[in-house]
Each structure stands twice: as C-alpha cells, then as structure tokens.
Structure 1
C-alpha cells in the first residue's frame, strides 16, 4: 500500500474535506507508517466506519473489507465496479437518492452525510456516506475518496418517532393529525382536478358498556380488533383509515362518489364490526354507526366535509344506531330538532307527556290475542308525536333509559290489571335496567302495587343484557324467575345471537327479528331454513316463538307453515291505547282477522313531497306521492303523453332521468333510467349527484341554461300545495 493512499485514508479518518490536490510527500518513518495503517485497519474492524475510493471513471479502486462482508461478496469482485453498485438507488420520500448521488458524482461535487440504502438482499441497511473529489498535479479529476458509516438504527429511530407523530400507538391506524393533513392535501389537489373524495365517520355503539363492565384494558383490546376488521374490509386504492380518539374512526376514500357502492361498504362495515368479539375470555357485542359525506357535493375543504360527515353520523345514531346516513341539507334542521328533544326529554315524564300503547301479539292458529307489548310514546306539546326511534337512543345516551323503562313497567302493570281476562303484557327491559342490582325489587314493587299476577308479565330482553358480569346476570335471572314472571329473548337472529344464551338463560320465548322475515317468500331466500331451525330449537327447549314485523299474507302463510306459534305485526294490528284494549276484551277473547296486502312490497314507499320535473327548457313543481327504486308517481301536470322524458330533481344535486309509463289526467307514473339506492335511513336516493363544478358551469348565461322558462310551457299545471289524503 502506497504512503499516499495511507495519507488519504488518514485524512478521511480525521474528517478533512475540500478539493484535494496531488498528495504532497510527507516524511513518515517506517514506524509511523505502520502505526497509521494499523490505526485505519482498527477503525475499519471496529464497525464504526469504512472507506472507499474510485478512479476517474467512477469505478471502485478501494473498499473496506467490512463492506464486502456485509454485501456477501469478495472484495476483489467489487473492485472495478461502478460506485453506484454498492447502493439501492430507489426513490426515498425524503432524500430522493436515485437522483442526488449520480448528479453529485457527475458534477464532481463534495458531499457529506448522504443517506443511501445498501445493496443487501433481504435486509434493510442504511449508510451515511461522504465523498471528496481528487485532482492530480495538473488539476485533472482522478476519482473520489470517501468514507461511510452505518445509520440503520438511527434511521429506524427517526422513522419510529415520525410514526408516533402520525399514527395511533394503540391500533396502528393513522391518527387525527395525519388524517387531517392527508384529507386537506387530497381535497386541495382534487378541487383543481374536479375529482371526488368520500369521508366516513364511524362511532362504536355500546363501547362504553364494555369499558365499564370489563375495564379499560379490555376496551383497548376491543379497539385493536375493530381496527383489524376495518383494515380487512376497506381495501379501495388510496384509502386511509384513522382513529381520531376514543371509539371514533374516520375513513377517507378518494375518487368514489357512487352512493350505491358507499352504502354497501357502510353496511359491510356495520355488519362486520357488530360481530362478536372474544376479549380476555369474555364475549363482547358492540355495534357501529356511520356518517358519510362526499366532496365536492357536501363540502369543498376538509372542515366543511368533516362537519357534514359528523352531522350524518349524528343523524345515524339518532335514527336508532347500527345505521349509516348520507349527509343532506335537511340534517341541519334534524340536528336542531334533536338537540331540542335532548333538552326536553328529561321533563317529559314529569310533565305527563308520555303514555303507553299496546301492540297485539296473536296466536298463529286461532288469531286470538295472547299478549300485548307495551310501547312508550311521547306527544310533545310543540313538536307533536316523537318517534321512539328518536327518543329511545337519546334516553340511552343521557342515562334516562332506566327511569323511562321503570315508568313504562309500572304503568303497563297498572293498566294490564284493568284488562278483562288473562291476556299477558310484555314490557321491554333495557340493559341499563337489567344491570341495576335493584331491578328485581322494582319488578316486585310494580307487581305488588298493581296486583297483576306475575305470570301475566313478560319481560323482553335483548342480548345486550349479557354484556355485564356473568355472575350478576345469572343472579338476576334467578331472582326474576323466582318472582314468577316470563322472560323473552327479543330481536333473536340479528347476526350475533348465541345458542349459549338459550342454554343457560331461562327464557320462555324467542322473538324472531323482522330482518329474517323480509323477503322470505322470494325464490332462493334461505331465511325459511333458518327460521325452521329456530322453531325446532325453541320447541325442543319448550319455548314459544314470535315472528315480528309481519305485514303481508304471504309472510303470514310462511310463518304458519314453519310452525311459528305467535305473530306480531301490522297485518293484525298497530299499537292501540289501553282503553281500546279494555273495550276489545270486554266480550271475552279478542280475535283479530289478518288484513293486509297479499305480498310484501318493501320497494314501494308512500311519500308526500315537492319535486321538480324538467322537460326541454322548463322546470315544473309537482307533488310526488309514492317512490320506489325503479320509479315514482307524481301529480301536478295535465295530459302528459306516455313516453315523455323528464329529469326528476329531488334537490341537493340529485337528478334522475325518467320516462312517463302511465298517465291519467294530472297523475303520471315515471320509470327511472337508473334505479335508486338505499340512503341508510329507510329511504332512497340517487346513486350519483351532479357535481357543483358542473352546476356552476350550467348556470352561467353562456351555456344557454338561463333560458329555462322563456318559451311557452308544454304542459299545464294544477295546484298541489295541499295533500288530498292522509299519508302514513
């Protein structure tokens, strides 16, 4: 080894920099030269750093042996290769090494602490390298000399710190900070490109109950499992899932504005998240509610879009939970109304605004009323009748469900005692009531005060009562059965029912959820086999069965054929006041003949709302009286020929191309070109909407759209301001 090369290596070791001229001769004794070589060899062997050199053509003339060992090659095989062969020159988000290093080498620039990835198969190793160009006595470039050191641990530490700043440490999902930055950047870019982006906000239902009963460690484990399920479900390209905190999650889905696909994805998320979890040996069941907003329709920037998605989530939870909702402009008034309901619910009982109605449960063979289910109703002095689907979830959230449930129990017992005969009364019991250690005493007091025989009281429980302590749950069942009351398992078959409940809990009845009834008569529907199995199981366990939500004769016939013992639904009766029950029972047994449509038609919805019909350059205001996925009936135009094309304007950018298929006087039946989709709230909406960008272009005078209404209207109109008949 020449003294000049040793001197260059020594300078590298000492960290000298700058353009070096031809090595000046340095007088070194033999002993000093030997010490310098040993010093550099010791430094290389220590693993603290290594050295490299190249010639004027950029080919390696020297490389430390430790580098060759890391690369798994002989040092002699590396000599003569281009210096770039030592590295994987791929794009790195921060350094963009594939451009930086070749540019520096070709420009013969000094560089230091450049981060590069080592060309090692199957192992990620990062080096920090420095290099100094060398020139001979004539100033001609003759190569590079440089050094490097391993920074893999440092880089990993930096990555971990960066990840902690951007990702949730519990679930590994993106955190609120990252989701906010990603959404803002995406919407800014998409606004220019006029692209769409959907955001879903998801809240877990009954998560607080898991935390309270099983503890926060169990709650943390549950959140991890929820995150895992979301990751498996949401696999659209470019999507990102984040946990914003607590039990709140956010999903960003770029380039998707099809509300049909978004609705199906939301349903899948709700279904998957609602499946049972095993946490520390305990079985947990939760639910999920989802709100959906889509840019640019529901907001241009991230603040607007998140506000819209939050409002949709708020509406989905208020609608009974376990649902999804799309944002619409109507939600603002709904939210204001719900806030008013929250404020006044607490005083509703005290102000005598609540009352109880009773829906008959019928013996399938005899059509005789055997039980009446007590249902709470709220008549507000200003807002009118408020749906239980609205105020029951609010009562649960505000911890008023226990007081409301106890009031219904006492009132139902008092009113049932006055009924002639031995018909039973069924009362729903919330998990909050059941989890109260004094609940059995409340039931005993209600029976004693009303003097209602215990066998005439039936308590309907949902599976949420099993979320509490197993021992306390078993004790409560024992206490209730000692009182002599009957127990029914409500909403059986909702997707997470467990046979273990029936094995241990002393139920007298199983109520089959109406979701299993819908579509049962359609070809290929498998619900008949499931219901048959439930009936067979209940019979073996000496339990009654009740099918809920029967509305049509074909459903009733199917239930009778399958051996279901009792029926509850509109085909027999809606809920009625206690006085009507008393009057009906005065003559003895109360027999109700079934009355309803021959076949269940869920797609037809009776509505009463104004919509726009656009034909040529005119827009007409008409009244829509019913709506299905495939069409609607409108009233307001006179003598419209069959085959006339229209565009139906539902508002909020929802336009549907339609053709008149039936026409009689001022009434027309229209068929949509593209079917409507589920809006998550029991209604329908268009699959796509007209982008605000397009609307802005259409409404400019240059397009000619400003001519709407300038020519003579083709069709005459009638006043449809008031409905002619009551709509259910």
Structure 2
C-alpha cells in the first residue's frame, strides 16, 4: 500500500471509547481520500467500517446504502464473492490467518471487469486499513511483456524460452502417456557471407523468409523457434515413427536450400540439420538439445547441406574433442609442439633451395599427433594465432643456422591475417632470430584472400616491402586462383598434390601441370609440385616445366636436428 494510505490510521478520525456512534471523517478529508487512485476502507477495533472512499465502493461493488455496523472476516473483502470458486477458500483462509495473527496480508483478485490488488494492514488501536487498487492495465502490460519475451522480434517465431516451455510440456506428456517427440536443430549454411557482403538488413530479410518456409513444413501441434542468429529448432510432437522425422529433415534441407529473392538479390543458402529423439536420445530437455547439437555438428563435418541423427558415438567423439582442446591449450606452455622440415629441390640445379615448416604435436599420452587432427580445431577455437606465432618464431630461429641461401616457408592461416599485428610479429621474429627477410617465405591459401580482400592485400604488400617472399599454397583447388594471381605478384605457386597424384590415373594430369607451369613462367613465378613420391612423377613434372618439387621422393618431413645432416649431404635422388 502507498505510504500516504498507510499513514491514514494515525489520523484522529475518532472513535467513541464507550462504543457510541461511529465517528465521521471530516468532509475535506473524505474529499481528499476520494481523489486517490486507490480505494480505502478503515475498520475500527469492533469491526465497524468508519471510512469508505468512493473508489473502494466502485471497485469492490459495495452497496451504496448504509453498510452494516459490524464487519466479519468474510465481509471485509466483499469481492471474495466475485473470486473464482476454486480460489475462494484459499483467500478466506489467508484472510482469517492474517486477522487472527494481526499481520499484514496482500491479495490479488481477478474479477470479470478488473484485476484488483488488495492489501490489509493492522492499525495500532486494534483496527484495520484495507487498500484496493485496480492493477488491470499493469497486469495486461506485464502479460504483453511476458509474451514478447517469448517471441523472436525479427521473425515472430517462438524464442528459446518459449521453445523450452513447449519442450517441457512434450516431455511431460512422454512421462504420462509415452508420447514421443523429436528435436531438429537447423543451422543455415553460407549465411554469414550474405551478411558480410550485402549487409544485415538483407540478412535479416532472408531470415524472415527462412522462418516462413520453416513454418510451412509443420503441423499445428509442432513448434519452430529461432534460438540464435541463424539457428532454428523444430519440436516435432507425437512421433511414433522415425521415418516421419526423417522425411521432415529431408524436406527442410531441400526447402531451405532453394533460391531466395531478397531486395533484388538472388540468394542461395543451405541447411544442416541435427536430430535427436525422445525417449531414445534423452528424456530431459538439456540432454535432447545437447544430442541434437552433436548430430548437427556431424552434419557439418559431413559436408553441410544434409541431416544426421544422433548416435551415442557422437558424444564419445565430442568428449575426445573437448579433451584435445584442453590438452592443446596447455601444449604451448608444456613445449609439446615441434617443427619438422620438408626440403624443396630445384630441378635445374638438383640443389635444395629451402624447406617448409610443418608443425607436429608430441602428446604425452597419445604420442605424435598429425596436424590434420588438431589444426582445424585450433582454427575453430582461436588457438591458431598463438600457435602460428610460435611456429613463425621457431622456424626463423632454426633457419638462421642453415647454410645461405636456404629459405624457410611458413604457412600463415586466415585467422592470423585478421590480426592487426601480423606484420609486426613477423618483423619481431626476423629481428630476434637474425634471419634476413628474403630467406623467409610466407605461404597462404585462397582462404586468406577470400576474407577482407583489400586489407589482406595491403598486408601482403607490406610483407613484400620488407623483403619477405609470398607464395600461394594448394594452387588450383579454388575457384578464383587466376584472379588472385592478377591481384598480387606472388613469388611462388605451389601446385596441389592432388594434381601430381592424378598424373598416373588421369589423362589430363600432364596438361594441368603443364598449364600451371607455363602460367608461372610467364608471370615470373617459381612453380613447386607438391607430393612427389616416385621417379616417374619427377620425370613427368620436369618435362612439363615445373621449376621445383617437394615430396617424399626428396625427403619426408624431418626434425631440425636430422635436417642438418640432410642439408650437409646436399644430394638429389633424381
């Protein structure tokens, strides 16, 4: 009750000590009380109403005529007769307890025309004050806010909170009647490039269209919710046949993957879907969501644009992945990473020209771990930047002890190029090791140029200005390699090992090698064929005009100590 109303009982409105006629409030006081938005009842120690404002008369529907002298506990709140029958007894019980114990109490009554908030407070002289307020507008606003809190404002779909409520209800039905359900977690493929290239307004409009398509696939009893930027979840209820869920997952992949027209742009994205069933994959909401996420992760690993059902092995693999992440975060401090070096041979002089640095991880329990196992994870969780810096510094230190003019090639990931301090880090590595800049070669893949192209080109030009050489790795495997060769004057092109492998099995293998070698010659770039393992491959690559080779035929990657012995021999296997 507001402080102004709580202070009213202290006013000397007057009681007859001998129990005579009731005192009447002064007209001015009553007029002031009638102006308050709350209604007020004052009851004396004998249970008589000594003050009643017009507002309380209206809100509680009290009779306009003279009211009884004495008011029982049931009569204090006349609106009890308007309360729902199933709640009337509980309210009366709470009221009696408050009266008997002389303590404050608060009630809320929902009647046909309003929602009333009623507060009861004891007065020092043994009486009571009762305030009544119409909180209908406030409760309506709160209900609207609560509803908005459960709806995604962009798409109008349920959000994570409302999805969780519907999922809890479905799991309660499962416990009662055995009715199964399925969760389908949907992640949009290739959505980020839409945001990055066309802007967030186009991305938002695309999400709205995706939401409309998802709605169209569902029954009235199912729920589709947006729980993140481009992540949606469908709760499919009354599932008795997994084939129905499989059909839905297949339909989702197909429907989301169809072309969209948004603000004059033709857009094509895709969907990866992970599915978990209740009760087979879990009987509680958290486990179901976790297992559906694991299935989604598998769908992404398998190439995206597909769906996968949860399997117990997925959880085991994810636990192993988490353990590897924890171990990798400590590996740098424990000095568990090592560098191996694979030499490159010049075909004209039959001399080694340099080496490529390749990282290895000597795990204390698992032994040597291939970079193919941990580098993708390091890129995903952001550890590739500190690991890449360690590789650069260690490679420069090792190469500084090699005979001049042998060079060292270090692969730099796209994540490292996002760092504003890449050039400064390389400068520091060169300075601390004493390695001349021309003996360092930075290898990049097309993935580096795909992101923030102009900024990346500026970084590459800064490296060239320092004297550092730049090569394109895995050339020929991307869709825009030629355009990149025009945008930046690379020093070297490394022909992907897949083309060398195809020399013996595909008739066009020689032609591709010949074309790349000719392109490199015309642009003044060295061409290195990777993955050379046989003398026949070496001869054919030499015949097609490549300048250098790298592969097991020359040498496997070896530790720094073994490399020194190899460099001293300086002999070619050709």
For Structure 1 versus Structure 2, the TM-score category normalised by the shorter chain is: 0.5 to 0.7
CA displacement 1:110-152 (0-9 Å, x = unmatched):
xxxxxxxxxxxxxxxxxxxxxxxxxxxxxxxxxxxxxxxxxxx
CA–CA separation in structure 2 for the residues paired with 1:365 and 1:285 = 48
Native 8 Å contact 1:210 1:467 kept in 2: no
How far is 1:487 from its partner?
A: 0.5
Counterpart residue number, 2:369: 386
Give 2:426's match in structure 1, choosing from 443, 448, 451.
Answer: 443
Please tell me whether residue 539 in structure 1 is matched to residue 507 in structure 2.
no
Distance 1:584 1:335, change over 3 A: same
> Does 1:333 find its partner at 2:316?
yes
Tell me which of 191, 197, 218 is aligned to 2:199.
218
User: Match of 2:440?
Assistant: 457
Shift of 1:220: 5.9
Could you say which residue in structure 2 is the equivalent of 1:575?
A: 557
Q: Deviations over 1:356-391 (max 9, x none)?
A: 112233446776543322122222323433342343
Where 2:410 maps in the other structure, the secondary structure is strand
Instruction: State the match for 1:348 in structure 2.
Output: 331
> Residue 186 of structure 1: CA displacement?
12
Report 1:699-718 matches (<5 A).
none
The structure-2 alpha-carbon separation of the partners of 1:312 and 1:589, relative to structure 1 and needing over 3 Å to count, comes to farther
Counterpart in the other structure of 1:685: none
1:404 aligns with 2:387: yes
Q: How many angstroms does 1:558 deviate by?
A: 6.1
Call closer, same or farther: CA 1:530–1:404 in 2, change over 3 Å: same
Shift of 1:226: 9.3
Tell me, yes or no, if the aligned pair for 1:241 and 1:252 is still in contact at 8 Å: yes
Structure 1 distance, partners of 2:352, 2:253, is 36
Distance, in Å, in 1 between the alignment partners of 2:435 and 2:163 is: 58
User: What secondary structure, in the 3-state scheme, does the structure 1 residue paired with 2:199 have?
Assistant: helix
Find out whether 1:500 has 2:521 as its counterpart. no
Indicate conservation of the 8 Å contact 2:291/2:315, yes or no.
Answer: no
3-state secondary structure, aligned to 2:442 = strand
Where does residue 248 of structure 1 map in the other structure? 231
> How many matched pairs?
422
Query: Contact 1:205/1:289 (CA < 8 Å) preserved in 2?
Result: no
Structure 2 counterpart of 1:372? 355
Counterpart secondary structure, 2:524? coil
CA contact (8 A) 2:253 2:272 kept: no
Structure 2: distance between partners of 1:171 and 1:539: 55
Query: Where do residues 487-636 of structure 1 align in structure 2 (5 Å cutoff)?
Result: 487-514=470-497, 521-522=504-505, 532-549=514-531, 559-560=541-542, 562-570=544-552, 572-589=554-571, 591=573
CA distance in 1, matches of 2:568, 2:249: 50
Q: Which secondary structure state, in structure 2, belongs to the residue aligned with residue 330 of structure 1?
A: helix
In 1, distance between residues paired with 2:538 and 2:155?
47
| 1:420 counterpart SS class | coil
CA distance in 1, matches of 2:314, 2:476: 32
Q: 1:494-530 CA distances to partner (integer Å, 9 max, x unpaired)?
A: 444353322122211223344555656545x766655
**Alpha-carbon distance, 1:450 to partner:** 1.8
Q: What TM-score, normalized by structure 1, do the two folds share?
A: 0.44
Which 5+ residue runs of structure 1 have no aligned equivalent?
1-163, 594-728
User: How far apart, CA to CA, are the structure 2 residues paired with 1:552 and 1:571?
Assistant: 6
User: Is the 8 Å Cα contact of residues 412 and 443 (structure 2) preserved in structure 1?
Assistant: yes
1:173 and 1:227 in contact (8 A); partners too? no
Instruction: Work out whether residues 319 and 389 of structure 1, in 8 Å CA contact, stay in contact via their aligned partners in 2.
Output: no
Report if the CA contact (8 A) 2:295-2:310 is conserved: yes
Unaligned runs of 5+ in 2: 1-147
Taking structure 1 as reference, are residues 366 and 244 closer, same or farther at Cα in structure 2, changes over 3 Å only? farther
In structure 2, what is the equivalent of residue 473 of structure 1? 456
1:423 maps to 2:406: yes
TM-score of the aligned structures, taking structure 2 as reference length? 0.54
Contact 1:199 1:305 in 2 (8 A): no
Cα distance between partner residues in 2 of 1:452 and 1:467: 30
The structural deviation recorded for 1:564 is: 4.0
Deviation at 1:479, TM superposition (A): 1.5
Q: Whose helix proportion is higher, 1 or 2?
A: 2
Pairing partner for 1:414 from 390, 397, 412: 397
Aligned counterparts, 1:207-286, within 5 A = 207=192, 218=199, 221=202, 244-248=227-231
CA RMSD of aligned residues (A): 6.1
Superposition deviation, residue 204 in structure 1: 5.5
Show CA shifts across 1:654-707 (max 9, x none).
xxxxxxxxxxxxxxxxxxxxxxxxxxxxxxxxxxxxxxxxxxxxxxxxxxxxxx
Which has the higher Rg, Structure 1 or Structure 2? 2
